[in-house]
Amino acid sequence: MANYDDSNIKHLSAMEHIRRRIGMYIGRAGNGSDYDDGIYVLMKEVIDNAIDEFIMGNGKRIDINLDWNTGRCQIRDYGRGIPLGKVVDCVSELNTGGKFDTESFQFSVGMNGVGTKAVNGLSDEFYVRSVREGEFSEATFEKGILKSKRRGKLKDPNERTGTFVSFLPDATIFKNFKFREDHVMRRLKMYAYLNAGLTLVLNGERICSDEGLKDLIADEAQFEKLYQPFHFRSKTLEFVFTHTNRFSEEYYSFVNGQHTTEGGTHLTAFKEGLTKALNEYSKKKFDGDDVREGIVGAISIRMQEPTFEGQAKTKLGSPEIRADLVANIKKEAEALFHKFPAEAEKLIKKIDETSKLRSQLNTIKKQARERSQAVSVRVPQLKDCKNHLHLDRKDKAGKKGYGEDTMIFLTEGKSAGGTLGNARDAMNQAVFFLRGKCLNTCGLNKDVLYKNEEFFNLIKTLDIEETLDHLRYGKIIFATDADVDGLHIRMLLTTFFMRFYRQLILDGRVFILETPLFRVRNKKEHYFCYTDEEREEAIRKCGRGCEITRFKGLGEIDKEDFRGFIGEEMRLTPVTCSDDTDVEKTIKFYMGANTPERKDYIMESLVCDAAEF
């Protein structure tokens, strides 16, 4: 038995604790490929401080310079500047900062005195400079350890007041990291939407918003909105919403500029207040589910001393604000309906139609469940994994129900599915067998999810019938042949998810398995090749006498080969949806009953390609 005495008790400095327990401070590390990876949180923590200055009326511009090659990030605000005598303490001592003083910062998201310290501790190099009242104070750190500090009079009397921070994330923590421009730009746009009148400049490119969250919703629902968004804004509350013909509901919620991706009290109050306002205005009794289907909305509140769940601040607690917030949202939303009666009538018509369809759908759902129970107590097309996360819905309501390491392959036919089923890692990889080509859902209503046995079994398998929060797998992967039929099945599946469960795509949960076209091997080594170029490189490595196998389909690949490309080296292409895409129009063009139009497009494309060639 190991000894346990005084020598086993360790004390960590603040910076040592940050570096050893990064999950407590910024969540996961990651490499920058995901929107929520740690390097973006580091950038956010510094920008948050600049935003707090703007909220207090100090500085309308933030300059961000980001070196995409090295990852060095520089942020300059034009606020009041950190008090010169406390510059070192504010970036290195936990529980130290100006956000504890509600007079200096009335509506700050950084309340715990942690943010910039975490950036310092997790950076290979960190530099801070504060300018105010003709003086400056600056300090340099390496991995959170102070290397130098200096204070003095400004040489340039025109240097503007404010704070400058430069940091280089520590590559030993954020391995192989790289900032992605689309992730950075999306974060900066969110700041602009939340702070109308603020200008952010990224490497010389200006980002700003005149109408705040109204611009956000206009961008997110630009092709699909059924009426002009309703928008209200005051000093402490802003909300905006419109409806689309989507089957999902989509929200953006914020507290003091912090994007609360898991919602919380303010989002719950928004939903409740909106339903009450609509029922009061229309003199009807709409169900909340009917009011919310197809909605695209955003809410932002500013409050003193909000209570968040965890340092990541992705969900608001603060239950004491709920009743007043519901009443306020109800009052202001109802006032908007009276102010814009024509748009309100469009909204009521949409909810009426949704209510009637839901009533019909409930009957179909009941029949589908009864049919399913009569056939089997389990999904016959599923070969499940052993290690997916089972959700205790009472204790974890509203939390994600998937295990990040679990995945499910949607594969065509018994041949490929059988081989994949034998080759997979049974602990965290599941297989769902498609019966050939699934139904084209373009233009179909939600009742198809219950009338079509294959889709009904699929949504039961994923556990997404009632809410996406119970999704049982971290990744949904299309595993089809790389031939015409396989590509068609991919399109059919993409259409299904894009129309009925688009949020899974937006959340980065849907992927395509890239399957190798060739295997090149000799007696000592082998390579899976996905392109002709990779095949030629593999031949060069293995020698001209090597064996070259051309894979025609997944059903022809043996179990051992399958294991070679669904393990750690698995190549996945995410199914994505860009912000500037008219989704319904695109789906109708490629999957609708407009064959002549598609044929003309294909022929024109072939002619153009041939001319270029």
pLDDT digits 0-9 by tens, 330-365: 999 999 999 999 999 999 999 998 888 877 777 776
CATH of residue 166's domain is: 3.30.565.10
CATH of residue 347's domain is: 3.30.230.10
Dihedral of alpha carbons 477, 480, 484, 488, sign:
negative
Mean pLDDT of 22-41: 83
Q: What percent of the chain has pLDDT over 70?
A: 85
Whether 176 is covered by a domain: the verdict is yes
Which H or E run contains 595?
helix 595-612
When comparing pLDDT for 533 and 399, which is higher? Answer: 533
Whether 600 is covered by a domain: the verdict is no
Dihedral of alpha carbons 97, 100, 102, 103, sign:
negative
pLDDT tens track for 141-174: 999 889 999 999 998 888 999 999 999 999 999 9
Task: Judge contact between 49 and 111, C-beta under 8 A.
Answer: no
Neighbours of 265 (CB within 10 A): 23
pLDDT of res. 364: 75
Residue type at 94 in one-letter notation: L
- With b meaning 16 or more CB within 10 Å and e meaning fewer, what string describes 324-333? ebbebbbebb
Q: Are residues 164 and 34 in the same domain?
A: yes
Task: Judge contact between 360 and 445, C-beta under 8 A.
Answer: no
pLDDT of res. 610: 43
Whether 568 is covered by a domain: the verdict is no
pLDDT of res. 378: 56
Angstrom distance (rounded) from CA 142 to CA 411: 50
Mean pLDDT of the chain: 83
Angstrom distance (rounded) from CA 243 to CA 577: 19
Angstrom distance (rounded) from CA 334 to CA 273: 9
Question: Per-residue pLDDT for 467 more than 50?
Answer: yes
Question: What are the beta bridge partners of residue 125?
Answer: 168
pLDDT of res. 436: 76
In a 3-state reduction of DSSP, which class is residue 282?
helix
Among 16-25, 175-184, 350-359, 558-567, name the most confident range: 175-184
pLDDT of res. 52: 87
Please name the residue that has the structure tokens 């290979």. 124
In a 3-state reduction of DSSP, which class is residue 476?
strand
**What domain count does the chain have?**
4
Q: Are residues 177 and 106 in the same domain?
A: yes
When comparing pLDDT for 375 and 443, which is higher? Answer: 443
In a 3-state reduction of DSSP, which class is residue 298?
strand
Question: Per-residue pLDDT for 116 more than 60?
Answer: yes
Angstrom distance (rounded) from CA 383 to CA 414: 12
Whether 593 is covered by a domain: the verdict is no
Among 226-230, 462-466, 574-578, name the most confident range: 226-230
Angstrom distance (rounded) from CA 192 to CA 209: 5
Residues comprising the chain, all counted: 613
Task: Judge contact between 491 and 591, C-beta under 8 A.
Answer: yes
CATH of residue 497's domain is: 3.40.50.670
Residue from 550, 242, 327 nearest 252 by CA: 242
Q: Are residues 466 and 436 in the same domain?
A: yes
Which H or E run contains 202?
strand 199-202
Question: What are the beta bridge partners of residue 496?
Answer: none
Q: Mean pLDDT lowest for which of 267-281, 388-402, 452-466, 571-585?
A: 388-402
Distance of alpha carbon 75 from the chain centroid: 24
Whether 9 is covered by a domain: the verdict is no
Mean pLDDT of 88-92: 88
In a 3-state reduction of DSSP, which class is residue 314?
coil
Whether 599 is covered by a domain: the verdict is no
Whether 370 is covered by a domain: the verdict is no
197's tokens: 């009148």
Q: Which pLDDT band holds residue 202 (cuts at 50, 70, 90)?
A: very high
Write out the residue range of the structural domain in which residue 42 sits: 14-208
Sheet containing 123-132: give its strands across. 145-153, 135-142, 123-132, 162-169, 73-77, 61-66, 199-202, 205-208
Q: Are residues 500 and 551 in the same domain?
A: no
Q: What angle do CA 80, 86, 90 make, to 5 degrees?
A: 85
pLDDT tens track for 595-613: 777 777 667 665 554 444 4
Among 14-23, 306-315, 570-579, name the most confident range: 570-579
Choose one of 193, 208, 223: the last residue of a domain.
Answer: 208
Angstrom distance (rounded) from CA 459 to CA 479: 17
Mean pLDDT of 118-144: 92
Q: Are residues 338 and 421 in the same domain?
A: no
Angstrom distance (rounded) from CA 479 to CA 484: 14
pLDDT of res. 111: 42
Residue from 406, 402, 408 nearest 471 by CA: 402
Residue type at 133 in one-letter notation: E
Q: Mean pLDDT lowest for which of 212-216, 273-277, 479-483, 588-592?
A: 588-592
Choose one of 150, 185, 208: the last residue of a domain.
Answer: 208
pLDDT of res. 102: 46
Neighbours of 320 (CB within 10 A): 10
Q: Are residues 504 and 533 in the same domain?
A: no
Among 25-39, 199-213, 433-447, 498-512, name the most confident range: 199-213
Question: Per-residue pLDDT for 391 more than 80?
Answer: no
Q: Are residues 179 and 300 in the same domain?
A: no
Angstrom distance (rounded) from CA 218 to CA 225: 8
Question: What one-character DSSP code corresponds to residue 264?
Answer: B
pLDDT of res. 397: 37
Q: Are residues 476 and 535 in the same domain?
A: no
Whether 369 is covered by a domain: the verdict is no
Question: Per-residue pLDDT for 113 more than 50?
Answer: no
pLDDT of res. 542: 92
Q: Are residues 185 and 235 in the same domain?
A: no
Q: Are residues 395 and 543 in the same domain?
A: no
pLDDT of res. 581: 57
Question: Per-residue pLDDT for 1 more than 80?
Answer: no
Q: Which pLDDT band holds residue 557 (cuts at 50, 70, 90)?
A: confident
Scanning 56-200, the segments in alpha helix (DSSP H) are: 87-92, 115-121, 181-194
Choose one of 208, 227, 247: the last residue of a domain.
Answer: 208
Question: What one-character DSSP code corresponds to residue 165?
Answer: E
pLDDT tens track for 219-245: 888 778 899 999 999 989 999 999 988
Three-class DSSP labels, 76-106: EECCCCCCHHHHHHHHHCCCCCHHHCCCCCC
Q: Are residues 122 and 25 in the same domain?
A: yes
Q: Which pLDDT band holds residue 414 (cuts at 50, 70, 90)?
A: low
Q: Are residues 183 and 41 in the same domain?
A: yes
When comparing pLDDT for 607 and 586, which is higher? Answer: 586
Sheet containing 526-529: give its strands across. 526-529, 518-521, 547-550
Residue from 362, 545, 604, 571 nearest 478 by CA: 571
